[in-house]
Amino acid sequence: MTIKKILIVLNIAGLLASLVWLYNQRELEPLITSIGLVATLIAQLYAENNNNSDNVTMKQKGGKGSKNYQSKGDIIINKKNDE
């Protein structure tokens, strides 16, 4: 199970608990909690998964004599002194 699915299941469980709370105590606090959890659930369901690094398109331009470094992940540049 991915993290996104786990968060959606936890959000649904919290929403059900807040609806039970709202049914037992008809006050403002459980109503606000329920509305917030519904909004969060909608955002989780319709949010795009941007963690897919396989679909990355990288473009880079550099001028004459420039040194450009481009990477899909972390890189380490060891600079040598030209003395």
Residue 25 resides in a domain: yes
Condensed to tens digits (0 to 9), the pLDDT of residues 18-68 reads 999 999 999 999 999 999 999 999 999 988 766 555 666 767 677 777 776
Query: Which tops the pLDDT comparison, 10 or 2?
Result: 10
Identify the domain containing residue 13 by its residue range. Answer: 3-48
Query: Which tops the pLDDT comparison, 3 or 10?
Result: 10
pLDDT of residue 53: 54
Residue 39 resides in a domain: yes
Residue 23 resides in a domain: yes
Residue 80 resides in a domain: no
Query: Which tops the pLDDT comparison, 73 or 52?
Result: 73
Question: Helices 28-46 and 3-24: crossing angle, nearest 10°?
Answer: 160
Residue 53 resides in a domain: no
pTM recorded for the entire structure: 0.57
